[in-house]
Amino acid sequence: MKSTHLYLNPFFAFGVVLLLLGAGNWIVGAVQVAHYRALVDAGSKAGAEDRSGGSRELSSTKSTEILGRIHEEREKYNAARIKVDFFYVVLRGGLLLFFTGLGFSVFALVKTVRLSGRF
C-alpha cells in the first residue's frame, strides 16, 4: 500500500479535516468550561445566584452602592453560567466531530488496505 493511495481517498481527507476541527473544539471547550465553571462556583459560594426565582422587595434604607455591587456580581454570575452552557455545547460538538472523523479515517484506511490486496 502506498501512502498516495490513502491521501487520494476523499473519505480520508474528510476524516482528517473532521479530526482537526473536532480536536480544536474539544480542547477549547474543555479549557473554557473549566474556566467558567470555576467562576460559577466562586459566584455561588459568594451568594451571587438569585435563589428566590423572582424580584425581591428592597427596603429604602439600603444604599445604591451596595445594590449596584450586588447587581454586578449577579450579572457576572449569570453570564458565566451562560458561557459554561455554550462551551459545553462546543465541547460535545468537538467530541462528535472528532469521533466522526476518526470513523471516516479508519474506514478509508481499511478500504485502501483491502483494495491494495494486503488484507
Judge if pTM exceeds 0.75: no
Residue spans of the domains in the chain: they are: 27-48+62-114
For the chain (119 residues), the mean pLDDT of every run of 10, in chain order, is: 73 95 97 94 73 53 62 86 96 97 94 75
pLDDT of residue 107: 93
Q: Which three cell numbers stand for residue 63?
A: 444604599
pLDDT of residue 58: 52
